[in-house]
Amino acid sequence: MAGLLEYLLTDFGSISRLLLESSIISVFGFLASGIFIYLYYRKFYGVTEAPKGWKTFFIGLILMSFYQMLKVPYTYRLIEGDIFLGLFLIFQLFAIGTLAYGLYLLKKEVEI
């Protein structure tokens, strides 16, 4: 198994195994966080509508997990070019902005 992994990593470019593992762990971490937020929402809000902060934060976590999945093909140079880099950075900034706005709304709801 390790030989196959090393072959794939060198076949796609010179990238460390640690970067691949950390990307996979990040994807699972963001998705697990999204699942826990969804379960929290179901338990405490049930049939009522969740506050906007929770929805925005949940969407931000989903976007961040997509960002982590997009990072791997770009890092392995499966896609190249300035246009893809620009789209990648715009998506990253949008995901971070959504997550930060969701946190702001959650903080604002707690202070009320």
Q: Are 90 and 44 in contact (CB under 8 A)?
A: no
| 41-65 pLDDT per residue, tens | 777 777 677 778 888 888 888 888 8
Among the listed residues 27, 5, 2, 14, the one whose alpha carbon sits nearest the alpha carbon of residue 76: 14
d(CA 27, CA 19): 12
Determine if the pTM surpasses 0.75. Answer: no
User: Which pLDDT does position 44 carry in this prediction?
Assistant: 75
Residues making up the chain, counted from first to last:
112
| pLDDT tens digits along 83-110 | 888 888 899 899 999 999 998 998 888 7
Question: Rg for the chain (alpha carbons), in Å?
Answer: 18
At 111, give phi and psi (nearest 5°). -70, -20
